[in-house]
């Protein structure tokens, strides 16, 4: 009987140790993703691209909201014209992998393999998501804003 209690005590101890390790690893991962030490308003550049005579930059800004801590913004400029800013995502992840792909005259913004927005170079129209009702003209969000500037979600 004593052997049985010793074995169940070892199993219980192993389960507790596993839970402590799991909670610790989860806490470290969550802390990294939310970046609580990063002050609100701080920005990082996620990438620069050039297609035809357009320049594109993607920046991420730390928000004050704990549960949606980051906003991703697209900056677009044709030639030497002023920059235009568009917020295309509010998210939880710090520094996600962003790709821009050209399809004809449209630039597709992809985050973690999912299309987040498009920019039509011929019409100079930005569209967040796949919904055409979420389209904005170049001046709709931020105009004459030097990256990373002060941009916001409308």
Judged against a pLDDT cut of 60, whether residue 136 lies above it is answered with no
Instruction: Give the tens place of pLDDT for each residue, 46-95.
Output: 999 999 999 999 999 888 877 778 888 899 999 998 888 888 888 888 88
**Token pair of 33 as six digits:** 């993703």
Judged against a pLDDT cut of 50, whether residue 109 lies above it is answered with yes
Judged against a pLDDT cut of 90, whether residue 15 lies above it is answered with no
Number of domains in the chain: 2
Give the structural domain span for 28.
1-34
**In the 8-state DSSP scheme, what is residue 39?**
P
Residue 8 lies inside a defined structural domain of this protein: yes
Q: 10 with 71, same domain?
A: no
**16-39 CB burial, b ≥16 within 10 A, e <16:** eeeeeeeeeeeeeeeeeebbeeee
As a whole number, mean pLDDT of residues 19-39 equals 74
């Amino acid at each position: 009987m004593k052997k049985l209690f010793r074995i169940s005590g070892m199993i219980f101890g192993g389960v507790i140790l596993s839970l402590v390790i799991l909670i610790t690893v989860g806490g470290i991962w969550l802390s990294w993703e939310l970046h609580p030490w990063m002050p609100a308003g701080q920005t990082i550049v996620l990438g620069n691209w050039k297609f035809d005579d357009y320049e594109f930059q993607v920046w991420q800004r730390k928000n004050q909201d704990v549960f949606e801590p980051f906003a991703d913004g697209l900056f677009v400029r044709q030639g030497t014209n002023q920059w235009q800013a568009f917020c295309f995502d509010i998210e939880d992840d710090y520094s996600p992998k962003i790709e821009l792909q050209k399809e004809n005259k449209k630039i597709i913004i992809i985050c973690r393999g999912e299309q987040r927005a498009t920019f039509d170079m011929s019409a100079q129209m930005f569209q967040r998501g796949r919904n055409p009702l979420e389209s904005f003209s170049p001046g709709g969000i931020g105009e004459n804003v030097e990256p990373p500037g002060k941009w916001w979600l409308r």
